[in-house]
Amino acid sequence: MKIEKNIYPIEEKRAAVMVKRINDRSCRFRIIPGSICCIEKGTLMAERPEFQIIDDDGDKVEPAGKFLWTAETIDPFHLVIDI
């Protein structure tokens, strides 16, 4: 079921990581160490191709498939899954 353009409820429980925006004007995020968690079926996720996850060396982290970002979290934090 698709609710709005690029926003989807996930169909099953999934592992996720929490990321934090690097600075207020950036579309770049870092993974918060130790933040692995589960998100529940039905959680609204958004495709955000303009967002990037950056590692500790400043290199872009590429998804195995595509990253989906929680649509109902408040910046600077989001949960991200790779699907």
Does any domain span residue 2? no
Supply the pLDDT for residue 11.
95
Which DSSP category does 59 fall into? P
| 1 pLDDT above the threshold of 80 | no
Give the per-residue pLDDT at 34: 93
Is pLDDT above 90 for 19?
yes
Percent residues over pLDDT 70 in the chain: 94
Which residue matches tokens 């925006």? 21
What distance in Å separates the CA atoms of residue 63 and residue 53, rounded to the nearest whole number?
9
Total structural domains within the chain: 1
Residue 65: which domain range?
Answer: 7-82
Task: Give the mean pLDDT of 58-71.
Answer: 94
Phi, then psi, of 47 in degrees rounded to 5: -80, 130
Structural domain contains residue 78: yes
Using left for φ > 0, alpha for ψ between -120 and 50, and beta otherwise, residue 22 falls in: alpha
Asked whether the predicted pLDDT for residue 3 surpasses 50, the reply is no
